[in-house]
């Protein structure tokens, strides 16, 4: 059973056979080339500060299930006056000094049921339970990335971008379906496509994601993204910029 689950979730990359050279030829990769401006790159490549680390720790959810360290973020938030200096120093050594984070880069994998009757591994949603210090570091990086997201993510992507509401994604199709049901005249009709959400979001072409980010100019953040999947979660939506731009060519 363990081997079956490992095989299933390791198959999240749908086409490992695709080579880097083939991906470079994809038109979508070229469409988004150099989307990152010099000003944006300067923001991303600036050295991280103690205040950024503090804000990241402060903004963590205090009671989230702990990872291998067995600690809650609440502990660090309540006793920051005691542990803050050491945590900040350790975090900045990784963020600015390039120190290897492998000693804290390990997690517990927890499978969350998606429905009542569980039959196959796909009925579970895997989540990673990380160490708190690890979360602080990746949260610091994600906060820096959020500064430029509104300028490079198309307006149709309403989730995970500051100032936008994910509820817009529910309102828009509701209004569209209402219009389609009421439309009874005219020579042009409408069509709606229902996507399989699992196939759309649970299968990621990692090589394609990396090529898009490199084309856009995220060289520095590609190195930092190796720290955690959380950062990839933000980067994942940058690829929608490529697909959107390609549709307008």
Read off the pLDDT of residues 66-96 as tens digits, 9 standing for 90 and up. 999 999 999 999 999 999 999 999 999 988 8
User: Strand runs (DSSP E) across 10-121, as ranges?
Assistant: 108-113
Residues contacting residue 169 through CB under 8 Å, at least 6 positions apart: 158, 159
Question: What pLDDT, on the 0 to 100 scale, is given for residue 49?
Answer: 96
| Whether the predicted pLDDT of 164 surpasses 50 | yes
3-class SS of residue 9: helix
0.75 surpassed by pTM: no
C-alpha–C-alpha distance, residues 87 and 71, integer Å: 14
Question: What pLDDT, on the 0 to 100 scale, is given for residue 187?
Answer: 79
Q: Go through 183-199 and write b for each residue having 16 or more CB atoms within 10 A of its CB, e for each that does not.
A: eeeeeeeeeeeeeeeee
Instruction: Identify the residue with better confidence: 52 or 123.
Output: 52
Instruction: Report residue 97 as tokens.
Output: 């000094």
Residues contacting residue 74 through CB under 8 Å, at least 6 positions apart: 62, 63
Stretch 7-34: mean pLDDT: 62
Measured CA angle at 222 (ends 94, 238), to 5 deg:
130
| Whether the predicted pLDDT of 21 surpasses 50 | yes
Instruction: Identify the residue with better confidence: 176 or 203.
Output: 176
Stretch 174-202: mean pLDDT: 76
Measured in degrees and rounded to the nearest 5, phi and psi for residue 56 equal -65, -45
Give, as one character, the DSSP assignment of residue 33: T
Residues contacting residue 102 through CB under 8 Å, at least 6 positions apart: none
| Whether the predicted pLDDT of 62 surpasses 80 | yes
pLDDT digits (tens, 9 = 90+) for 34-44: 888 889 888 88
Place of tokens 């602080």: 136
pLDDT digits (tens, 9 = 90+) for 189-247: 888 877 766 655 566 666 777 777 778 877 655 555 554 444 444 444 444 333 333 33
User: What percent of the chain is predicted at pLDDT more than 70?
Assistant: 71
Measured CA angle at 240 (ends 239, 244), to 5 deg:
125
Element (H, E) at 127: strand 124-129
């Amino acid at each position: 059973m363990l081997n079956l689950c490992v095989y299933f979730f390791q198959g999240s990359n749908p086409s490992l056979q695709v080579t880097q050279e083939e991906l470079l030829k994809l038109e979508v990769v070229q469409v988004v080339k150099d989307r990152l401006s010099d000003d944006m790159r300067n923001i991303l490549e600036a050295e991280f500060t103690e205040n950024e680390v503090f804000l990241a720790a402060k903004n963590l959810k205090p009671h989230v299930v702990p990872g291998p360290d067995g600690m809650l973020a609440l502990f660090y938030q309540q006793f920051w006056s005691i542990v803050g200096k050491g945590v900040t120093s350790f975090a900045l050594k990784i963020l600015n000094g390039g120190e290897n984070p492998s000693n804290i880069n390990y997690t517990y994998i927890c499978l969350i049921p998606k429905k009542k009757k569980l039959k196959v591994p796909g009925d579970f949603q895997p989540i990673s339970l990380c160490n708190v210090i690890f979360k602080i570091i990746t949260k610091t990086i994600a906060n820096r990335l959020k500064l430029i997201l509104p300028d490079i993510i198309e307006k149709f992507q309403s989730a995970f971008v500051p100032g936008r509401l994910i509820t817009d994604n529910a309102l828009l199709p509701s209004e569209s379906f209402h219009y389609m049901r009421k439309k009874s005249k005219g020579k042009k009709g409408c069509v709606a496509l229902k996507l399989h959400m699992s196939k759309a979001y649970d299968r990621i072409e990692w090589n394609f994601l990396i090529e898009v980010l490199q084309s856009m100019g995220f060289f520095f953040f590609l190195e930092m993204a190796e720290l955690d999947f959380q950062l990839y979660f933000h980067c994942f939506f940058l690829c929608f910029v490529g697909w959107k731009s390609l549709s307008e060519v």
